[in-house]
Structure 1
Amino acid sequence: MTDSPLARWEQRNGTALTVASLLFLTSYAVRVLGHGLPEPVRALCLAVLLAAWAVFVVDYVVRLRLSGQRLPRFLRTHPLDTLVMLLPLLRPVRIVQTYETVQHHRDRPRLALHARVIAYAGVSVTLLGFAGSLALYQQEHAAPGADIVTYGDSVWFTCTTLSTVGYGDLAPVTPLGRLVTVGVMACGLALLGAVTGSFSSWLIQVFAREGERPPGDSPEASRRDDD
Structure 2
Amino acid sequence: MSRPVLIFDFDGTVALGHGPVFAYAAAVDEAAGLNGEMASKAAEMIAAGTDNGAIDAYDLVRMLAVEAGAGPEALDLGYKVSRAQLGTDQAAILAPIGLAAFLGQVDAERILITNAPEDRLAEAITLLGLDGCFDRVLSSGGKPDGLGRLIDELLAADQKRRILCIGDIWRNDLEPAHARGLDTALVGGWGSEKRPATYQAADVAELLPQIQAWVGQ
Task: Using structure 1 for the length normalisation, give the TM-score.
Answer: 0.24
Higher RCO structure, 1 or 2 (CA under 8 Å, sep 6+): 2
Task: Using structure 2 for the length normalisation, give the TM-score.
Answer: 0.25
Larger radius of gyration: 1
Decide which structure has greater strand share.
2
